[in-house]
Amino acid sequence: MKKLIYIFSATAVVLLMACSAITVKEKVNNEKLVFDLTNKLSSNLHYNKQDLNDEFSKRVFDGFLENIDPNKRFLVQEDVDKLSAFKFKIDDELKANELTLFSVYADLISKRETESEKLVLKLIAQPVDLTIKDSVELDADKIKFVSTKKELKARWSKYIQSRVINEIYFEQKNQEENDTLPQKTLIVLEEEAREKVGERLKDWFKRLSQLERGDRFAVYVNSILQIYGPHTSYFPPKDKEDFDISMSGKLEGIGATLTVKDGYIKVSKIIAGSASWKQGDLKAGDLITAVAQGDSTPVGVVNMRLDKAVRFIRGPKGTEVRLTVKKVDGSTIVIPIIRDVVVIEETYAKSLLLNQKGDSTNYGYIHLGSFYAEFGKRNGKRCSVDVLNEINSLKSSKVEGIILDLRNNGGGSLSDAVDMVGYFIKAGPVVQVDGVGQAPESYTDRDPDQQFTKPLVVMVNNFSASASEIFAAAIQDYNRGVVVGSNSFGKGTVQRFFSLNDVAQQFQVKNDANDIGAVKQTIAKFFRINGGATQLKGVSPDVKLPDSYDFIEIGEKEYDFALNWTSIPPAAYEKYIASYDIDNLNKNTQGRLDTSKYFQSVVNNAKMVKEVQGFTLIPLNFEEYKRYKKARKAKSDSAEVKEVTIVDMTVELNKYDLFKAQTDTILQTRLKKFKENTSKDHYIRESLRVLSEMVKD
């Protein structure tokens, strides 16, 4: 079961937002306001409307219980019974705008987390019995809530032991493989392992203790919203800000990756070309102890939640932030940094030239990590514009075909996906959208020209979703290109963000709050132009390549409340007449796969992934655990994906990047890595073979 959990991040790229003090009364009023508005919004405007009744309430409660204690290590059955008094009342609380269940839950879970921390710290101080004949079940769906505190203690004890013997196993293995290391006794290894595990658990409980009422409120609200669909959720203001960053592919800040270590904000990485990189004083390993805006009074950030601390550091381009930093040599300095735009390069479109050994034909390769767009920004960054630039750059090198790589692309901007399809077709519909309370309508190609007329291969995998599926499905339905890879994710719904401040105004609800967040809500389902949905089914490739996830269930269909697959009448469109034959492409590809050491190892790996998925009962006896780990490793090693060097494909930079990189050393480094990774990718190599056959047919 996929769980909807409010994640308290341990790592983040540096960000900033001023924090304001809010009274408890104001918080409660804001909670009731958010609770009321999310209910009004979903009840009136959601694509998958729900009847607020006892069955709805039960489904919410079951999901909520799983979300608040997914591993069943905090609550006992008595607590579950106490919360269960509300199992059939959540619908009534929604109608009355009451938050009684939330208040009971917030107080209860906080108390149980504190009790569990004390219990765990006592347990970790005691040696574990390495000879015990017992096991631990790590799949929470296979266990029940315990009945007594004694049973809860035993559950924690087993969990701790599983972590300790795992540490001992790897340290002992390391000793055996390295004669230069001091050979420690099992007693010493056990003590050191408990210390390591204890430090991690202390850090984890510390982060739990920093969760605020608002964090728990988000869990509760999202437990309700998930019933409408897995992509409907409430975003507090800070989370909405982070989502916008992920969609734009850039942020304004200092350009460092931060983690928490022993209460300190630790710099783990400086992003090349960022403001911190240019200033030069901030280094990986530095500890940030205070943050000041320009010459204002510094704010201490030791023992502060990471997401709060980074929001003091983020800020508009051109403004100054002063960091008080403890260096690795123990000295303390103040580092002034002028914030700048930090580009998350991995998401942006980029291209290369590909050639095959013995073939003088040029082929193009474009990688697109997401369908990014800076919504609401005039002349903002858009993936469709960037992809067109890459197409034009490749055309200048006279490529005879293009591979567009959408693997692991989770989607993004629907309008950009439509525009991109338009580059490859003359005219016509791209996708059909069935919205709330309206007849399905077609989104059509707005480009009067066909920017690229030659053969096209679209690469997809299990994690290509949403806008990626719109693009791949349209290319497939038009017979305009060949989709290569594995079945896509199956997300065929459209979401939109609603500012709750705007919702309050629309429903004429009094709102004195500055910003109460937003709701991402499903407003439509999209359909292929052939009438079928990509929802649940995804896009099936024309030419299938083996994947390590082939034998396990993965994708949208794994979500508990995913919307059903449906169909509508097809749109009017005209297919292209292809010069290539799909059956021949498949036959030739399969012939190569049958003799490919690399892809045969992928198949074996996929079978192993399926087999080990059911191994969730772990022995706690150390000798048995060693045998278990060795057997697992032997199986893993035997099914490991082989490293096979590709010797018959050349990869080169396009002319535009070659020119830009002459004076940009950071770009040179990024392009070198991109080129090296591409040259080792067997999926790209096989896609190139398919493309070359399409060109030569």
SS3 175: helix
Distance of CA 677 to the CA centre of its chain: 21
Output the CA torsion sign for 255, 260, 261, 262.
Answer: positive
* Distance, CA of 298 to CA of 586 (rounded, Å): 64
Q: At what angle do helices 682-696 and 597-612 cross, to 10 degrees?
A: 130
How many helices (H) and strands (E) the chain has is answered by 21, 23
In angstroms, how far apart are the furthest CA atoms of the chain?
A: 75
Torsion angle in degrees (nearest 10) through CA of 196, 202, 203, 208: 150
* Phi (first) and psi of residue 488, to 5 degrees: -75, 180
How many of the other CB atoms lie within 10 Å of CB of 149?
Answer: 12
pLDDT at 27: 65
What the block records as the tokens of 469 is 């599926």
* Phi (first) and psi of residue 445, to 5 degrees: -60, 125
SS3 126: coil
* Distance, CA of 216 to CA of 104 (rounded, Å): 11
What the block records as the tokens of 109 is 């879970």
Phi-psi region of 559 (alpha: psi -120 to 50; beta: other; left: phi over 0): beta
In the block, which residue shows the tokens 């993965």? 554
Q: At what angle do helices 149-177 and 622-638 cross, to 10 degrees?
A: 60
Is-contact 639 601, C-beta < 8 A?
yes
Residue of 218, 169, 219 whose CA lies nearest to 193: 169
In the block, which residue shows the tokens 């489904």? 59
* Distance, CA of 350 to CA of 366 (rounded, Å): 6
Domain boundaries, the chain: 49-228, 238-343, 345-506+525-592+646-696, 597-643
One-letter amino acid for residue 239 of the chain = D
Is-contact 646 679, C-beta < 8 A?
yes
Could you report the per-residue pLDDT of 570-585, keeping only the tens digit for each? 999 999 999 899 999 9
What the block records as the tokens of 617 is 């009962």
Residue of 230, 245, 249, 90 whose CA lies nearest to 520: 230
pLDDT at 299: 87
How many of the other CB atoms lie within 10 Å of CB of 49?
Answer: 12
Is-contact 145 75, C-beta < 8 A?
yes
Could you report the per-residue pLDDT of 285-335, keeping only the tens digit for each? 889 999 999 988 888 888 888 888 888 888 888 999 999 998 877 778 999
Q: Which residues pair with 181 in a beta bridge?
A: none
What the block records as the tokens of 593 is 């796969």
* Distance, CA of 543 to CA of 486 (rounded, Å): 8
One-letter amino acid for residue 223 of the chain = S
Is-contact 470 526, C-beta < 8 A?
yes
* Distance, CA of 111 to CA of 107 (rounded, Å): 6
Sheet with 482-485: list strands edge to edge.
Answer: 543-544, 482-485, 456-460, 402-405, 363-367, 350-356, 649-653
Distances (CA, A) of 491 to 411, 415, 485: 9, 16, 17
Residues sharing a CB contact under 8 Å with residue 571, sequence separation 6 or more, in sequence order: 429, 432, 442, 529, 531
One-letter amino acid for residue 420 of the chain = M
Residue of 229, 298, 694 whose CA lies nearest to 494: 229
* Distance, CA of 262 to CA of 202 (rounded, Å): 9
Low-confidence residues of the chain, pLDDT below 50?
1-22
Residue of 397, 536, 406 whose CA lies nearest to 464: 406
Is-contact 670 336, C-beta < 8 A?
no
Residue of 289, 279, 269 whose CA lies nearest to 331: 289
One-letter amino acid for residue 638 of the chain = S
Is-contact 224 515, C-beta < 8 A?
no
Sort strands 649-653 and 350-356 into parallel, antiparallel or unpaired.
Answer: antiparallel
* Distance, CA of 548 to CA of 486 (rounded, Å): 10
* Distance, CA of 86 to CA of 93 (rounded, Å): 9
**What single-letter DSSP state applies at residue 425?**
S
The HSE-up count of residue 401 (CA atoms within 13 Å, CB side) is 24
Is-contact 593 545, C-beta < 8 A?
yes
CATH architecture classification, 345-506+525-592+646-696: Alpha-Beta Complex (3.90)
* Distance, CA of 248 to CA of 267 (rounded, Å): 24
The HSE-up count of residue 178 (CA atoms within 13 Å, CB side) is 10
Could you report the per-residue pLDDT of 212-263, keeping only the tens digit for each? 999 999 999 999 999 999 999 999 887 777 777 666 555 667 888 888 877 7
Is-contact 147 77, C-beta < 8 A?
yes
* Distance, CA of 167 to CA of 160 (rounded, Å): 11
* Distance, CA of 365 to CA of 678 (rounded, Å): 9
pLDDT at 180: 81
Distance of CA 342 to the CA centre of its chain: 20
- What is the third-level CATH fold of 238-343? Pdz3 Domain (2.30.42)
